[in-house]
Amino acid sequence: GGNRRVETLRRPPEAGNREAESRRGSRRGKRKERKNDSLNGDKCAFYSVGFSEVQDTLWDADGRHFFHRCTIQGAVDFVFGNGQSIYKVLTVIFCLLTLNVLGATLKPGVAHYITAPGRTNPYDASGFVFTDYLVHGTGKAFLGRPWCSYARVIFYNTDLTDVVVPQGWDSWHFGGHVSQLTFAEIGCYGSGSNTGRRVSWVKKLNGFCFQSMIRLAFINSGGWVQALPIPV
């Protein structure tokens, strides 16, 4: 009880205890209807879990979350929402084949998106931090596009393969608000990590802002992560 309480997202037994998988597609307008796939609880943790879907794989909707040694696979916006989360030692598999998702054909040669973070104001604590992980797969992808006008994502110490397009990021419908977005890559490596052709508005974070997000303290108020019965 108290500050040590940890809430988890529970899946039906048929989903298994190591993989949550769905083959349903979803357009952005349908997201509010997909409550069974959303992660809303505070202090949620996942260890060695696989998430797989074509689109909108993981709705990291709200709250503080910790993902460790997980695998997330998808083709469009497959990590999205307004969560305050750290994804550590993770594998992201971008898998784009010729697929039909609710009438929308996803074809090879067209770059899609790995993340679509929310965040509606500069005081919102939410954001996604990906650290010590691997992005690979087939096709081409942007690291992310904003779902809301203050979206925030950091990729830190990550192996970015040539799945990542040279531009890195897309402003989507928020081209007039790029100064408000926090999309950053720090200490990344691999064939897709060259920032020479990245969009001009990619953030170069100062030391304080950078350190405050990549450390466990970003989500660990009260020490709940260390209290988990898993290695961190």
How far from each other are the two terminal CA atoms of the chain, in whole angstroms? 21
Checking if the pLDDT of 220 tops 70, the result is: yes
**Of the given ranges (9-13, 40-44, 115-119, 215-219), which has the lowest mean pLDDT?**
9-13
Q: Which of the two residues, 214 and 8, has the higher pLDDT score?
A: 214
Alpha-carbon Rg for the chain, nearest whole angstrom, is: 17
The confidence band for 6, taking pLDDT boundaries of 50, 70 and 90, is: very low
The confidence band for 109, taking pLDDT boundaries of 50, 70 and 90, is: low
**Of the given ranges (102-106, 186-190, 211-215, 224-228), which has the lowest mean pLDDT?**
102-106
Checking if the pLDDT of 8 tops 90, the result is: no
Provide the whole-model pTM. 0.80
Could you tell me if residue 226 is inside a domain?
A: no
Q: Count CB neighbours of 16 within 10 A.
A: 12
Q: Choosing from 37, 56, 60, 77, which is the catalytic residue?
A: 77
130 strand-pairing partners: 87, 155
The confidence band for 32, taking pLDDT boundaries of 50, 70 and 90, is: very low
Give the C-alpha separation, 5 to 7, whole Å.
7
Question: How far is Cα of residue 20 from the mean position of the Cα atoms in its chain?
Answer: 16
The confidence band for 213, taking pLDDT boundaries of 50, 70 and 90, is: confident
Residue 162 is classified by DSSP as: T
Q: Look at the block and give the residue holding tokens 């809301």.
A: 148
Could you tell me if residue 225 is inside a domain?
A: no
- Residue 127 makes CB contacts below 8 A (sequence gap 6+) with 84, 85, 117, 119, 152, 153, 154, 182, 213, 218
Instruction: Give residue 107's pLDDT.
Output: 57
77 is catalytic: yes
Report the domain count for the chain.
1
Could you tell me if residue 223 is inside a domain?
A: no
Q: Look at the block and give the residue holding tokens 């020479």.
A: 196
Could you tell me if residue 45 is inside a domain?
A: yes
Domain that holds residue 129: 2-218
Domain harbouring 135, CATH code:
2.160.20.10
62 three-class SS: coil
> Residues 3, 117, 164, 188: what is their CA dihedral angle, to the nearest 10 degrees?
-40
Could you tell me if residue 228 is inside a domain?
A: no
Could you tell me if residue 230 is inside a domain?
A: no
